[in-house]
Structure 1
Amino acid sequence: MQALIVGAGEGFSASMARRLAREGHDVALAARNTAKLAALAAETKATLHECDGADPDQVAALFATPQGEAADIVLYNASFRVRGPVTELDPEDVRRTLEVCAFGAFLVAQQAARRMVPRGRGTILLTGASAGVKGFPKSSPFAMGKFALRGLGQALARELHPQGVHVVHIVVDGGIRSSRRPDDGRDALLDPDAIAEAAFAAMNQPRSAWSHEIELRPWVETF
Structure 2
Amino acid sequence: MNSPSQKMRSVSSYTSAKGIAAIVGVGPKLGRSVACKFAHEGYTIAILSRDLDKLSQLADEIACEAKAQVFAIRIDCSDCKSVREAFEGVLSLGPVEVLVYNACESASYKPSNFMSIRPDSFQQSLAVSALGSFYCAQQVIPGMVERGRGTIIFSGSSASINGFAGYSELSCSKFAMRGLSQCLAKEFFASGIHVAHVVIDGAISTPKLVLYRSSKEEESTCTNSTCFMDPDAIAQSYWHIHTQDKRAWTQELDLRSPYQRF
With normalisation by structure 2, the TM-score equals: 0.80
Q: Is the 8 A contact 2:181 2:197 kept in 1?
A: yes
- The separation in 2 between residues aligned to 1:18 and 1:184, in whole angstroms, is 22
1:168-202 deviations in Å (ceiling 9; x for gaps): 111101111138x9647454221000000011111
Shift of residue 40, structure 1, vs aligned partner? 2.1
Q: What is the count of residue pairs matched by the alignment?
A: 222
Match of 2:181?
A: 153
Is 1:57 aligned to 2:81, yes or no?
Answer: yes
Which structure carries more helix by proportion?
2
Q: Is the 8 A contact 2:210 2:229 kept in 1?
A: no
- The separation in 1 between residues aligned to 2:167 and 2:251, in whole angstroms, is 26
- The separation in 1 between residues aligned to 2:115 and 2:212, in whole angstroms, is 36
* Identity of matched residues, %: 35
Shift of residue 38, structure 1, vs aligned partner? 2.6
- The separation in 2 between residues aligned to 1:68 and 1:113, in whole angstroms, is 16
Is 1:25 aligned to 2:43, yes or no?
Answer: yes
Mapping for residues 121-136 of structure 1, pairs under 5 Å: 121-136=149-164
Q: What SS is found at the alignment partner of 1:175?
A: coil
Is 1:191 aligned to 2:216, yes or no?
Answer: no
- The separation in 2 between residues aligned to 1:39 and 1:32, in whole angstroms, is 13
Amino acid corresponding to residue 79 of structure 2 in structure 1: D
**CA 1:68–1:213: 2 relative to 1, 3 Å:** farther
The answer for unaligned runs of 5 or more in structure 2 is 1-18, 64-69, 214-218, 220-225
Aligned counterpart in structure 2 of residue 71 of structure 1, from 93, 96, 104: 96
Amino acid corresponding to residue 102 of structure 2 in structure 1: N
Aligned counterpart in structure 1 of residue 59 of structure 2, from 31, 41, 47: 41
Q: Which moved more, 1:170-179 or 1:137-146?
A: 170-179
Match of 2:116?
A: 88
- The separation in 1 between residues aligned to 2:86 and 2:52, in whole angstroms, is 13
Shift of residue 68, structure 1, vs aligned partner? 6.5
Match of 2:15?
A: none
1:116-169 deviations in Å (ceiling 9; x for gaps): 111111111111011001111111110000011111111110011111111011
Match of 1:14?
A: 32
User: What RMSD in Å do the two structures reach over aligned CA positions?
Assistant: 1.8
- The separation in 2 between residues aligned to 1:67 and 1:7, in whole angstroms, is 20
Amino acid corresponding to residue 87 of structure 2 in structure 1: F
**CA 1:193–1:102: 2 relative to 1, 3 Å:** same
Is 1:208 aligned to 2:247, yes or no?
Answer: yes
With normalisation by structure 1, the TM-score equals: 0.93
**Higher alpha-carbon Rg:** 2
- The separation in 1 between residues aligned to 2:99 and 2:253, in whole angstroms, is 17
Is 1:3 aligned to 2:21, yes or no?
Answer: yes
Aligned counterpart in structure 1 of residue 190 of structure 2, from 116, 139, 162: 162
Amino acid corresponding to residue 209 of structure 1 in structure 2: A
